[in-house]
Amino acid sequence: MKSRSTIFVDTKWLAGRLGTPGLAIVDGSFFIPGQGRDAEQEYNLAHIPGAVRFDVDAICDRSNPLPHMLPSAEEFAAAVGALGISEHDTIVVYDVLGLFSAPRVWWTFRLFGAEKVMILDGGLPKWQAEGRPVESGPAKPTPKRFAAKPPRDQVATAASVAHAAANGTAQVVDARSPGRFCGDEPEPRPGLSSGHIPGSRNVPVSALVADGHLLPDEQLKKLMADSGVDLDRPVITSCGSGVSAAVVWLALEVLGKPPVALYDGSWSEWASLPGQPIAKGPA
């Protein structure tokens, strides 16, 4: 198993290093459409001192109609360089829900070659519950150069997911809610049918996290087994739009079984493609 100390930092560790050169603190908050919350507004009201905001809806491929798809290496480098972040910095990512969208930002930084990226255990809720300082208003970072590497084969496409599902070469693990997975609840994005990729397994992000913290290893293993996920077989993670899929990635990496890929388009793409098979009911 991968030591959690190589992935997470605690609030005490971060509090003792605020203002340290080479430390980049990143607010990676994101909300599912329809939640009635504004991540930028909440950042401007209160964030960890020195934190910059990583907006997944801005640092993305704007030519793609799908939500917050990965940018090119050049686009990513320009955007995070403008945020004052270098690939050599120690990057600590958090979000306002405790542990929801921070793993997507963590995964993206690593995908583009950042050398040391961590997640704040418990996120902003734990930080604030401990009475630690926050600041308001927009950040004013000093730009740096981020030398981005083109992503490796860790980004799945609809075609590669369809091939894996049809041929059993990888398990597709979906982080959406059971209602959306089974087709009993509507998708938050209008016009999309709910349901799931045939043959996929459902591991809801809500089941992986408790009070803003990833479940203990043994509970993660049991959850995966109970959901029909074989930890000794390759996994492609998926969700609604590629955000909570990274929480599944995080859980599997903690267990020493990192996925082979994350389906960036996820259900937003799959359900919008004409003729794409959609299964209903439980896995």
Which amino acids are annotated catalytic?
239
Q: Cβ distance 192 to 272 under 8 Å?
A: yes
Taking residue 169's Cβ as centre, other Cβ atoms within 10 Å add up to 13
- For residues 264 and 235, what is the distance between their CA atoms, to the nearest angstrom? 14
In the sheet that 155-156 helps form, which strands lie side by side, from edge to edge?
155-156, 261-263, 235-238, 171-174, 201-202
Strand 235-238 vs strand 8-9: parallel, antiparallel, or unpaired?
unpaired
Contacts of 272 (CB under 8 A, 6+ apart): 66, 191, 192
**209: which 2 tokens?**
């996290």
Contacts of 210 (CB under 8 A, 6+ apart): none
Q: In 47-126, which ranges are E strands?
A: 52-53, 90-94, 116-120
CA atoms within 13 A on the CB side of 78: 9
Strand 235-238 vs strand 171-174: parallel, antiparallel, or unpaired?
parallel
Q: Cβ distance 220 to 245 under 8 Å?
A: no
Helix, strand, or coil (residue 180): helix
CB under 8 A, 24+ apart: contacts of 31-38: 32/188, 32/240, 33/188, 33/189, 34/188
